[in-house]
Amino acid sequence: MNKLIGLVIVVLLAAAGVQFAGHTTKVSAFGSAVHGFLDAVALDDPESLIPDIVEAAAKEGLEVNPRAVTVTAEPTEKQEGLTGMLARKGIAESQQVRVTIELEHSDTILGVFPLKGQIRETDIRTVQVRPRRVGEEMYQQLEAEEMQSQPAQRQPVGTSNIMRQKARDVTGR
């Protein structure tokens, strides 16, 4: 079991246990907080994650009832999408953690976190909000809020003619 079979821990927080204001920014920050303690977790005892998850959620303003948290494990190879493909090809770490929070209004995937960090952090820290009992308008609003919450990506100085022109305009040189 220690070979190429990794574990994916799926954390489901029942809607009754989570008071969520509808802002994906809190969930995104929670995902970042979760990433901080995963490296230290012993995967043979997935339930040991629950207190850490509750604590990380509380720091981001999400009130979580520990009894509403369930933790299950499954092999990484069964996972769909890019992460499963990378694990099957041996490119990514086979032991990975996927944290999913099920909320009343949406399913929020907080990303897939490699335990040994062979995938760059920027590749995995994506937050997707999928509509479930909400209309398209609500979904678009959540998507727009998430886009606004992400910091603007900076370009290295001198890599773009436009950036150089802006610098000339400002400095007069």
Predicted pLDDT of residue 111 = 40
Q: Give the residue carrying structure tokens 């008071």.
A: 19
pLDDT block averages, 10 residues each, the chain of length 173: 34 36 44 45 57 69 64 53 60 50 41 38 34 49 66 52 60 58
The predicted pLDDT at position 90 comes to: 59
Continuous H helices in the chain:
24-38, 49-59, 81-88, 121-124, 136-149, 161-171
Instruction: Give pLDDT, residue 56.
Output: 66
- The total number of residues written for the chain in this structure: 173
Say what the pLDDT of residue 137 is.
Answer: 58
Specify the 3-state DSSP secondary structure of 142: helix
Write down the domain spans for the chain.
Answer: 7-171
**Angle subtended at Cα 109 by Cα 104 and Cα 114, rounded to the nearest 5 degrees:** 150
| Beta partners for residue 8, in sequence order | 74
Q: What is the pLDDT of residue 51?
A: 75
User: Bridge partners of 152?
Assistant: none
Instruction: Say how many C-beta atoms besides its own lie within 10 A of residue 106's C-beta.
Output: 22
Residue type, 169: D
Encoded tokens for 143: 């998507």
Q: In terms of pTM, does the model score above 0.95?
A: no
